[in-house]
């Protein structure tokens, strides 16, 4: 399966809007987890796999291929790492972590105690 590309229909949208293409790519299994793990610097395949605890080597290889083709990660002598574009993406996504923590607290408060 080819990676989602701006200007082409993607899962959930036929508009070709760039934002829909990146959402499609990042919505694939483990794509966000890989970006998140590589935000701290390069990691060899085996270390990346262990940090993404339940990922299979096949899925990891596929996602690495997808994210490399999209220009988000690259292979170096030290393993895989985010490209400049990948780091820019991570910096944009990082505030979602802060937001999600606040959302989770609110969600738990609204849900009330579990009996």
How many CB atoms sit inside 10 A of residue 38's CB? Answer: 25
Identify whether the C-beta of residue 35 lies closer than 8 Å to the C-beta of residue 90.
Answer: yes
* Residue-range domain boundaries for the chain: 18-101
Task: Give the model confidence (pLDDT) of 39-63 as tens digits.
Answer: 999 999 999 999 998 899 999 999 9
Q: Which CATH number fits domain 18-101: 3.40.50.20, 1.10.10.10, 3.40.50.300, 3.40.50.720?
A: 1.10.10.10
- In the predicted model, what is the mean pLDDT of the chain? 91
The answer to whether 1 and 41 have CB atoms below 8 angstroms apart is no
Task: Enter the pTM of the model.
Answer: 0.86
């Amino acid at each position: 399966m080819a990676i989602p590309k701006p200007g082409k229909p993607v899962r959930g949208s036929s508009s070709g809007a760039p934002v829909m293409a990146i959402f499609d790519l990042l919505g694939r299994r483990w794509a966000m987890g890989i970006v998140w793990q590589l935000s701290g610097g390069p990691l060899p395949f085996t270390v990346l796999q262990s940090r993404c605890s339940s990922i299979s080597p096949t899925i990891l290889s596929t996602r690495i291929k997808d994210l490399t083709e999209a220009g988000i990660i690259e292979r170096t002598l030290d393993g895989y790492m985010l490209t400049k574009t990948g780091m820019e993406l991570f910096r944009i996504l990082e505030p979602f972590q802060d937001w999600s923590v606040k959302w989770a607290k609110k969600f738990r408060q609204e849900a009330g105690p579990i009996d």
